[in-house]
Amino acid sequence: MSSEPEYGRQQRSAIRIPPRLLIGAAIALFAIFGYFANSSKNPITGRTQHISMTPQQEVAIGLQSAPQMAQEFGGLSRDATATALVKRIGKDLIAKLPPEATPYPFEFHLLADPKTVNAFALPGGQIFITEALFSRLETEGQLAGVLGHEAGHVLARHSAAQMAKGQLTQGLVSAVGVASSDSAQGAQNAARMAQMVGGFINLKYGRDDEIEADRLGLRFMHACGYDPRSMIRVMEILKQASGGSGQPEFMSTHPDPGNRIEHIQAELKELFPGDDFQGLRK
């Protein structure tokens, strides 16, 4: 017969923590520690970022992914004149970038896709614009704005930061799935809910990245001698190309072009106070 009082056994039983909670907490702590343990200050933006990969690794990822990405948009354009223009303006932009941009060997590509209005950048400096968007642009300044915006994504290391955030989110999703239910079905349901919440968090980062890339693009094109106000017309062109989509802004990684115009107008006043932009190329 045990001599331990009954209330002692009840108290010890009451504070027992289910193993699934301990495992879930360990997974979450590991993910959080791994994310915040890697931090560095971006010399272009001045912001502290949590990124685990080096610029050299970003370059390698971009170079490896570029052929496949180009193929998804019809391959490289056969329009030699247009391709040369994209490469020339891209080269001019890069020549005026801050010296901190040197780790990235930028390359600019025109894609053959005649329908998809798009431009994007891979980690490390591989920048693409489709013929569908290129054909809608009216001036070299507008093209410089698009390419400068994509260069802004590269130098702000947005892709690398998103990868790190994705790893953190996935770790937290796994933790919730493990800790929330004893059953496999219950864990899957909890994980799906956590994944959805994590997705909305990362969408916010995406919108912020677009606004920051706009700001950097304005700086880069101005330094290269292009009128940064050309970006306003780029936003109008994108809005026209969207066909007035009714998708709510909070469900998209790209802010509504109309709202971006307001941001750009505010950035122009802040970045270039008193500048009348005379003598700059349109």
Tens of pLDDT along 101-135?
778 999 999 999 999 999 999 999 999 999 999 99
Task: Quote the pTM value.
Answer: 0.76
The residue written with tokens 């390419």 in the block is 147
pLDDT tens digits along 16-54: 666 655 565 655 554 455 556 667 888 888 888 888 888
Rg of the chain (C-alpha set): 24
Does the structure show a pLDDT above 60 at 246? no
Predicted local distance difference test score (pLDDT) of residue 248: 45
Handedness of CA 145, 151, 152, 158 (dihedral sign): positive
Q: What is the distance between the alpha carbons of residues 117 and 113, in angstroms, rounded to a whole number?
A: 8
3-state secondary structure 162-193: HHHHHHHHHHHHHHHHHHHCCCHHHHHHHHHH
* Opening angle at CA 100, ends 202 and 215, nearest 5: 50
Q: For residue 217, with 0-12 CB atoms within 10 Å meaning exposed, 13-18 middle and 19 or more buried, which class applies?
A: buried
* Contact criterion met (CB below 8 Å) for 127 and 109: yes
Q: What is the distance between the alpha carbons of residues 114 and 67, in angstroms, rounded to a whole number?
A: 18
Q: What is the distance between the alpha carbons of residues 73 and 55, in angstroms, rounded to a whole number?
A: 26
